[in-house]
Structure 1
Amino acid sequence: MNAPVPPTPPRDFPIRRGCPFAAPEEYATLRTEEPVARVTLPTGRPAWVVTRYDDVRALLSDPRVSADIRRPGFPALGVGEQEAGARLRPFIRTDPPEHTRYRRMLLPEFTVRKVRAMRPAVQAIVDGVLDDMLAAPQPADFVASYANAVSTSVICELLGIPRENLEFFRDVTRVSGSRTSTAEQVAEALSGLFTMLSDLIAERRERPGEDLLSRLVTDRLLTGDLTMRELLSVVGITINAGRETTTSMIALSALLLLRRPDLLEELRAEPDLVPSAVEELLRVLSVADSIPLRVAAEEIRLSGETIPADDGVIGLIAGANHDPGRFPDPQTVDLRRDDNHHLAFGHGVHQCIGQQLARLELEIALRTLIQRVPTLRLAVPYEEIVFKHDSATFGVERMPVAW
């Protein structure tokens, strides 16, 4: 009589990328053999990961799935993430109707029409940042001098925040977004940000301007729609989320193009191809792979597997965006790919509010770089580039370039 086959022990998660421009190779195995798989998180807690496009899409739109970080089963990947999040209550880690309330406040600021109107301002920011980089000594760190400078300057422009110390915002995110930061370290990093914002809010009470922060103060804080604590949380997450993923996408996209001169030449020959290229780069790079952290509020079934109520579950963006059942030849970077309905910005009620602004920034940042700096090159061997494997958003830590 054959003995029963023991269940496969849960894999450790997160899984590192072998290639920075693709999903981890193990995702393909999971998608075929175990599309809804049990894993063990860095905290020691169990959870589930989902790798198929249709399953991830269904998961992120299922009202039986919660994003509330206070739930005991929340699959936090950082050691201090859940404790800090439960204290600060970022709206992306809340459920309707609370989440809906915050989302309705911000959605009017990120409509297609409003973002289109920002194009001249974003172009001016990109041109100015590039002027500064080209005037500085070589080599330059592309991440600090261009990618972070562009994304942080744009979000500061939107909110009406002075751009005196762009690296300050990056430092805050480096701590708050690290999977190794304790709750105390996250709180300390954010306290500096909140102190700065509190001073700016006090100024806007007396002298409101035309920026988003002024509108939130005038229309929400002073009317009682938001408390001071809630306003700080909303603005804080808007800054962190709005700049970190875009910084990563600009830097990683530029690195991929430098490694693929054929694609670079294709874009130089056809600049109008850049918007399509942005969509493909968003799909391929999937820098927000494990951002969609959820808890099954009720028992749910995906691909024949039952996820019990109260279990943590993660919809893997890179897994979905590299699913050959949805994207033919998903490893190929096809700048002309049709029907590119990727999930880089998530899906459902938590889909990224600022996705149109992110697209605009990426388009302008890449197009301007390609047109103005045709001699851009890495200043160190590719093997020396350091990647952010332990951050909530995958990306490049430092990227020395010359021209």
Structure 2
Amino acid sequence: MTAQDAVPYPTVRTCPFSPPAEFADYREHEPMRRMHYPDGQVGWLVTSRSLARKVLSDSRFSARSDLKRVPVLRPGADPFFGAPALPGWILDLDAPDHTRIRQQLTGKFTARRMQGMRPYVEQVVAGLLDDMERDGGPVDLIEAFTLPLSTQTICELLGVPYSERDAFQRDSKILFSLGSTAEQASEAMDRLYVLVRSLVRTSGEHSGLLHQLAKDGVLDEDETVGAGVMMLTGGHGSTSSAMALGAYALLSHPEQLARLQADPALTNNAVDELLRYATIFHFGVPRAALEDFEFEGRPIKAGEPVTVALPAANRDPAWFTEDPDRLDIERRTSGHLAFGHGIHQCTGQSLVRVEMRAALSALFSRFPDLALAVSPQEIVLNTRTSPVYGVLQLPVRW
């Protein structure tokens, strides 16, 4: 496969839950093939699960933001991709800085600690469902349920006043919108830094993870602020999208929803199947080669960008052998890559699972006849507006 055969990153879907059809063809015939990037560079597109795992665990492929390139046009990323990483942003760092900072976060995001958040999450879930039941339908499930749940949870975890939600939700949306200009994204990031820095400097006045990081004193202030902004922006919108898209998938597959309602013990597995089936990071994970080397028989040149297509990897029949394009809440879900792989695997994945399990279980228990309030054709998905895939609104009734 030569540079002349390079393809753009596929973005056109024919099904709201399935990745673009080109991925299946690439995965079968050329699972690591040449790809055109919006800035004119030619790099690589990875679509198989096995190669995805190898790329994401190989230190010769860097996560440094100054080397990475976006796979689709995204002007708002210009100030951050192609430039040195912001302090504390472990997503854009390699070892040893990545290792040092991540160690301070990992111990605070263990599965046990996140399970300790479960009573709080369940309390918030119950309160939001009470509000929905009292007010009556139809409602937008995102506005009424998934977004306030994920926002209240991340605020509680970090020690961010919930009263600040309008500001950081607005700026997070600008930051991750494919339609934002470089200037708009930079200004949004500046406002987020001002907010989190003020909270770090007054961390003794409130509890939460920002207070713990400031008290530990291992990270300097800029690193603590950067890590805080990263967790705040990534910890509410993406989780809300995953919950809403999961609910939409279940409503669109009534036989699977019926199985879940009949056997709540399936909830944990159902959540991971939904994460696999409707992978929200639909534009993949960017990497860049640090040196010239041969990788799986392919000549890789230093500086070449690489994009790992997580939705394609999560539909790989070589691992998910029983019709991976079908939603099956009882399938073996181990090994999915919805949270990435390797040293940059999502730190907050245990919290995402806690939230999704509590939310979906209670939602369909409280409203067993929950249904879409509009036709499926009226559900608008952010296919080309955000790197986090999901529905813009999800009107429901009961």
Deviates more, 1:185-194 or 1:130-139: 130-139
Q: What residue number does 1:278 align with?
A: 271
Kindly indicate whether residue 341 of structure 2 is the aligned counterpart of residue 347 of structure 1: yes
CA contact (8 A) 2:238 2:388 kept: yes
Residue 288 of structure 1: SS of its match in structure 2? Answer: coil
Secondary structure at the aligned position of 1:294 is classed as strand
**Partner amino acid for 1:40?**
H
Instruction: Tell me by how many angstroms 1:323 deviates.
Output: 0.6
Partner of 1:23: 19
**Alpha-carbon separation, structure 1, partners of 2:315 and 2:146:** 25
How far apart, CA to CA, are the structure 1 residues paired with 2:221 and 2:131? 36
The answer to whether 1:54 aligns with 2:50 is yes
Q: Does 1:253 align with 2:246?
A: yes
CA deviation string 1:109-138 (max 9, x = no partner): 111211111111111111122222333363
Give the Å deviation of 1:252: 0.5
Q: Residue in 2 aligned with 1:334?
A: 328
Q: CA deviation at 1:6?
A: 8.7
Aligned residues between the structures:
392
Secondary structure of the corresponding residue to residue 291 of structure 2: coil
What is the root-mean-square deviation of aligned Cα atoms in Å?
2.0
Cα distance change on mapping 1:18 and 1:97 into 2, 3 Å: same
Report the alpha carbon displacement of residue 11 of structure 1 after superposing the two structures with TM.
Answer: 1.7
Q: Provide the C-alpha distance between the structure 2 equivalents of 1:35 and 1:375, rounded to a whole number of angstroms.
A: 42
Question: CA 1:176 to 1:291, structure 2 compared with 1: closer, same or farther past 3 Å?
Answer: farther
Matching residue of 1:264 = 257
Contact 2:75 2:181 in 1 (8 A): yes
Equivalent positions of 1:225-374 (< 5 A) are 225-328=218-321, 329-338=323-332, 340-374=334-368
How big is the shift at 1:199?
A: 2.7
Tell me, yes or no, if structure 1 residue 13 matches structure 2 residue 9. yes
Hey, what's the Cα distance between the residues in 1 that align with 2:295 and 2:179? 31
- What is the rounded CA distance, in whole Å, between the counterparts of 1:252 and 1:277 in structure 2? 13
Q: Quote the residue 1:397 is aligned against.
A: 392
Per mean C-alpha deviation after superposition, the further-off stretch among 275-284 and 171-180 is 171-180
Aligned partners of 1:74 and 1:82 also within 8 Å: no
Q: Which amino acid aligns with 2:397?
A: A
Deviation at 1:356, TM superposition (A): 0.8
> 1:245: Cα distance to partner?
2.1
Task: Tell me how far apart the structure 2 counterparts of residues 36 and 366 of structure 1 sit (CA, whole Å).
Answer: 36
Q: Which moved more, 1:23-32 or 1:6-15?
A: 6-15
SS at match of 2:108: helix
Give secondary structure in 2 for the equivalent of 1:268.
helix
* 1:167 to partner: Cα distance: 4.2
Counterpart-to-counterpart distance in 2, 1:299 and 1:266: 51
* CA distance in structure 2 between the aligned counterparts of 1:82 and 1:93, rounded to whole angstroms: 14
Equivalent residue for 2:211?
A: 214
1:196 Cα offset (Å): 2.2
Aligned residue runs from structure 1 range 18-97, under 5 A: 18-71=14-67, 74-75=69-70, 77=72, 78-85=74-81, 86=83, 88-89=86-87, 90-97=89-96
Cα deviation, residue 300, structure 1: 4.3
Q: Which residue of 1 aligns with 2:163?
A: 164
Cα deviation, residue 291, structure 1: 4.1
Q: Percent identity?
A: 37
Cα separation, partners in 2 of 1:33 and 1:239, compared to 1, 3 Å: same
SS of equivalent to 1:49: strand
Counterparts in 2 of 1:94 and 1:8: CA distance versus 1, 3 Å: same
Residue 184 of structure 1, CA deviation: 1.3
CA distance in 2, matches of 1:43, 1:127: 47
Gapped regions of structure 1 (runs ≥ 5): none
CA contact (8 A) 1:65 1:296 kept: yes
Displaced runs of 4+ in structure 1, greater than 6 A? none
Please report how far the alpha carbon of residue 108 of structure 1 lies from its aligned counterpart in structure 2 after TM superposition: 1.0
Secondary structure, counterpart of 1:109 in structure 2: coil
Q: TM-score, normalised by structure 1?
A: 0.91
Residue identity matched to 1:257: L
Q: Assess, with a 3 A threshold, how the Cα gap between structure 1 residues 264 and 276 changes in structure 2: closer, same or farther.
A: same
Partner of 2:187: 188
